Structure 1
Amino acid sequence: MKFHVAVLLLLCAFVIAEAASKHRPNHKKASLSQKKHLVEIEEKIERLLAEEEALEEELNEENEEYEDDVAEEEDEEDMEEEDQREEEEEDEVQAAYDEDDEGPLIDLCLEKYCGAGRECVVNLQGEAECQCMQECDFEPDDRRRVCSNHNETWNSDCQLHRMRCLCVEEAETCTKEKYAHVHIDYYGSCQEMPECTEDEMKDFPRRMREWLFNIMRDMADRHALSDYYMKLEEEAENDDTKKWTNAVIWKFCELDGHPRDRAVSRHELFPLRAPLYTLEHCIAPFLDSCDADDDHVITLKEWGKCLNLSDEKLEHIEEFCEDLHDD
């Protein structure tokens, strides 16, 4: 604004000076000093106009910076509001499993069972759910390695089970589809195992029954069986016709963990298979043969038939597990 006024004043001065020179009788003989004065006025006007243009550009830049600052402040306010909403949601979840305002927190995952390779988490709705483990600790000890049914060595059982979970859930981080059915064959790095001969395979059910009965009797001597299975062990001791049947039923029911569904999965066979594989190389093909329909689980009838129990013993065998018997 000040520049506009200055320019106008100079223009007025220039006009007045020009008019005055024209009304003088000898205006054509104006002195050189007057002409020089007019030139100086013109130069000042040009400088003022140039300065005004520069000032306008500077003001425009400042306005743009101001508008950017305002937009950035608005974005920061939006982010703060979003963070505040998330904190409020988390507080609501926290409050959902508080026993009371002063009492201890309720662990919603305390009674939530998640299979191998999964972990329990509390979601934003305050519900406990099982998800594939985010990561596994690196195991530097070679003794923690495991060999899979694909004859591949894994750094730990956690990594193998986590990968299986990811493949079952069809996650992008699943490296191979076949890992949806991966399971542990035995502890330690994979090694070349001798083949199980036909004669060894044929005799294996008998040796397996003997071994199961001896384990059951040893646990009974240590009072490590429930009252129900203690009774089955006593019957097996006193009645040879129940010796193999009761031992076979006890072991199957013990393996049938989570869920109790009258079927043993490949994972549930792990406590039986893994420790014995390097000592009993026939156990792997034997257990595979028990899964007659190849559905990756072994039913109690398949288990009994695989261990050569008679059809008469198999007829009502599914009623013998303790939890099913109590129902």
Structure 2
Amino acid sequence: MRVWIVFLLCLAGHAMAAPTEEEPMTEEPVYEVEEEVVVEDPVMEETEVGANPVQVDVGDFDEAIDIVEEDVEDNPCLNYHCKKGKVCELDEGNTPMCVCQDPSTCPPAEGEFEHNCGTDNKTYETSCHFFATKCALEGTKKGHKLHLDYIGPCKYIEPCMDNELKEFPMRMRDWLKNVLVTLYERDQDNDLLNEKQKLRVKKIYENEKRLQAGDHSLDLLALDFQKNYNMYIFPVHWQFGQLDQHPADGYLTHTELSPLRAPLIPMEHCTTRFFEECDTDADKYVALEEWAACFGLKEQDVDKDLII
């Protein structure tokens, strides 16, 4: 989804102004040269990084389906989709079914940027290795607790102090507003924002009082939120709607939050604590009302009709 591609580019470049499909390997043909058979090594196409959340959908971590070239036309697995960590296989009746992928069949990582850190504090070589491992643990207590924590190898994350936690939503609000403005500016093909969204963002974009993107002090961010409060209402609702997809039920699960959390944690050490404390009733779900309160919106300004 192009919204998330742009979103992640904004994330990496801007870093919140602080003071997530791989092609299968195909076999190369065998050539006979002077009675000597030369077999070229299989070539792995380079994985496109960041193609998805914030739709980084975590869905871009879906694994490829092995396809035998000569059976392409008759392979029922061709158009059969399996979720992350699973691949399609045919049963005895030639019916496609999804089975857990063997982690050993996952392509090796080409760099540290492909590593994933799980909530078990274990570094997985690639997202393929992580989701294949999680699939194998389905139905177990360990598997239920295992989630993608953040992108990159596991590392020490500094504890988030109380005063730092109060600062986090200031940068986050400003960042979300600037992400929307950037999407509006780049939306030449009309597929980054829908018409209703563009009308909302246009008002922000054309407002002469809008604080331009930059490395602003926390005092200035707090003052701008107070003076231009209405500019932040829609960005907060928009982000909730972008995450609330599977299913779109008005609640965010750990998995739905992952496309936003996973890239942020290595840069913003208060990310995990922030989202944990957003769940004020500790039911493992973040409702729209809880989300809005985390970003400082007033109760009367929470509006489900802004999820457009």
Q: For the superposition of Structure 1 and Structure 2, which TM-score range results when normalised by the shorter chain?
A: 0.5 to 0.7
| Rg larger for | 1
**Distance change in 2, residues 1:318/1:130 (3 Å):** farther
CA contact (8 A) 1:119 1:130 kept: yes
The yes-or-no answer on 1:232 pairing with 2:200 is yes
CA contact (8 A) 1:256 1:264 kept: yes
Cα distance, 1:232 vs. partner?
2.2
Cα distance, 1:164 vs. partner?
2.5
Q: Deviations over 1:38-93 (max 9, x none)?
A: xxxxxxxxxxxxxxxxxxxxxxxxxxxxxxxxxxxxxxxxxxxxxxxxxxxxxxxx
Distance 2:78 2:281 in 1: 35
CA contact (8 A) 2:76 2:96 kept: no
Q: Deviations over 1:159-189 (max 9, x none)?
A: 222233333334xxxxxx2332222222222
Distance 1:109 1:260 in 2: 28
Distance 1:201 1:138 in 2: 39
The yes-or-no answer on 1:215 pairing with 2:215 is no
Q: Deviations over 1:183-235 (max 9, x none)?
A: 22222221112221111101211211111111111111101322221122124
Match of 2:121 in 1: 151
Match of 1:76 in 2: none
Query: SS state of the match for residue 149, structure 2?
Result: strand
Match of 1:70 in 2: none
Describe how 1:217-296 pairs up with structure 2 within 5 A: 217-223=181-187, 224-237=192-205, 238=207, 240-296=228-284
**Distance change in 2, residues 1:123/1:293 (3 Å):** farther
**Distance change in 2, residues 1:262/1:126 (3 Å):** farther
Counterpart amino acid of 1:186? Y
Query: SS state of the match for residue 267, structure 2?
Result: coil
**Distance change in 2, residues 1:290/1:167 (3 Å):** farther
Q: How many residues align?
A: 210
**Distance change in 2, residues 1:305/1:107 (3 Å):** farther
**Distance change in 2, residues 1:121/1:312 (3 Å):** farther
Match of 1:40 in 2: none
Counterpart amino acid of 1:268? E
Structure 1 unpaired stretches of 5+: 1-103, 171-176, 323-327
**Distance change in 2, residues 1:106/1:147 (3 Å):** closer
Identical columns (%): 28
* Aligned equivalent of 1:318, options 282, 304, 307: 304
Cα distance, 1:142 vs. partner?
4.4
The yes-or-no answer on 1:304 pairing with 2:292 is yes
Distance 2:92 2:250 in 1: 35
Distance 2:96 2:254 in 1: 26
Structure 2 unpaired stretches of 5+: 1-72, 211-227
Distance 2:282 2:250 in 1: 16
Structure 1 length-normalised TM:
0.56
Cα distance, 1:241 vs. partner?
4.4
CA contact (8 A) 1:121 1:130 kept: yes
